Structure 1
């Protein structure tokens, strides 16, 4: 997708989020209205997530991996072994 059309679609999505959430809040089911209300509470973060190039996806992936290892080892091994598994595994 060309750079300009990608930026345009992100801008449209961000604008729809800010203007359309009021309409969703009034017309949609309760769950949709709650979701729209939640988005409006942190609209700056939602807009930044749609418009900025970088994300915290890699960090979230590592956190998910650590939590998975920790859950699998719960009650079975010491902290030392847990630390070794987390640091040596790619």
Structure 2
């Protein structure tokens, strides 16, 4: 193994990351192989966060709630 590759392999953060991947191997395999994803939900969360950022300092929760429900 080249010196740089060997050095990178011994980094504690990479080792920790690899251990966590191995511990959750079934979840990782399912996430990479199943056709389902959370893209639609993430899109809604992103939209709500955008509306929230636009309304900072403008109004209270009730108006934010109405906007979220109106644009669903």
Comparing both structures, which one devotes a greater share of its residues to helix?
1
Closer/same/farther in 2, CA of residues 48 and 79 from structure 1, 3 Å limit: same
Which of 31, 35, 56 in structure 1 is aligned with 2:38?
A: 56
Alignment deviations for residues 13-70 of structure 1 (CA, whole Å, 9 cap, x no partner): xxxxxxxxxxxxxx34222212212212322211110110111111112112212322
Is there any run of 5+ residues in structure 1 with no aligned partner, and where? 1-26
The two structures, once aligned, show a CA RMSD in angstroms of: 1.9
**Higher-RCO chain (CA-CA 8 Å, sequence separation at least 6):** 1
Q: Identify which range, 32-41 or 55-64, moves more after superposition.
A: 32-41
- 1:71 to 2:53 alignment: yes
Structure 2 counterpart SS, 1:40: helix
Aligned match of 2:71: 89
Give the whole-Å Cα distance in 2 for the aligned partners of 1:68 and 1:44. Answer: 34
Is there any run of 5+ residues in structure 2 with no aligned partner, and where? 1-8
Aligned match of 1:38: 20
Structure 2 counterpart SS, 1:55: coil
Instruction: Say which one has the larger Rg.
Output: 2
